[in-house]
Amino acid sequence: MHKRLRITFNAPVVLSFVFLCFGATLLGQVTGGVSDPVLFMVYRASLRSPLTYIRFFTHVLGHVDWSHFIGNVSYLLLLGPMLEEKYGSAKIVEVIMSAAFVTGIVNFVFFPMVALCGASGVVFAFILLTSFAGFRSGEIPLTFILVAVVFIGQQVYDGITLQDNISNLSHILGGVVGAVLGFRLNMRAESF
């Protein structure tokens, strides 16, 4: 007797996040980019506007075009389900929200003339968090060191040598969020 195959919603937070990114990107395309600065970009704006605070988190949903979206979503779908299975849905929400808030606040404070959007900070948080998968108390995984050197080093190099519209700082900050939360989550797990 053959068991029937069925599609499962295996990583609800990651999949929901991807669908929200898709919806925000589609809305941006349909509106000719008008919706992006209203809801899906963080930039220096009045602190009296409630949307300013909302955009500290929602800027990770919007993407400037489909190639930007696909690049980020590919990593989210590759890394996210494993992370959600290991750490649980609530912790993945914490990672996404922390990466969004940190990158949003830093961009708001230090880069007043730059509008930031996209899930790249979350992607880099996931990349660094993944390198902690085999963490044990009293050890620093070599994979973490190599991932930090390769991914963060590349962002520092690109930030210094290239003039493009990619926010290398948000990648670095996302990586720092992933590293800090990965360390904390694994230290907490070791104490149980």
Residue 114: CB atoms within 10 Å: 16
Would you call 64 helix, strand, or coil by DSSP?
coil
Q: Average pLDDT for residues 95-117, to the nearest whole number?
A: 92
pLDDT > 90 fraction of the chain, expressed in percent and rounded: 57
Which pLDDT band, with edges at 50, 70 and 90, does 192 fall under?
Answer: very low
> Span 161-178, mean pLDDT?
71
Q: What is the pTM of this model?
A: 0.86
Residue 42, classed as helix, strand or coil, is: strand
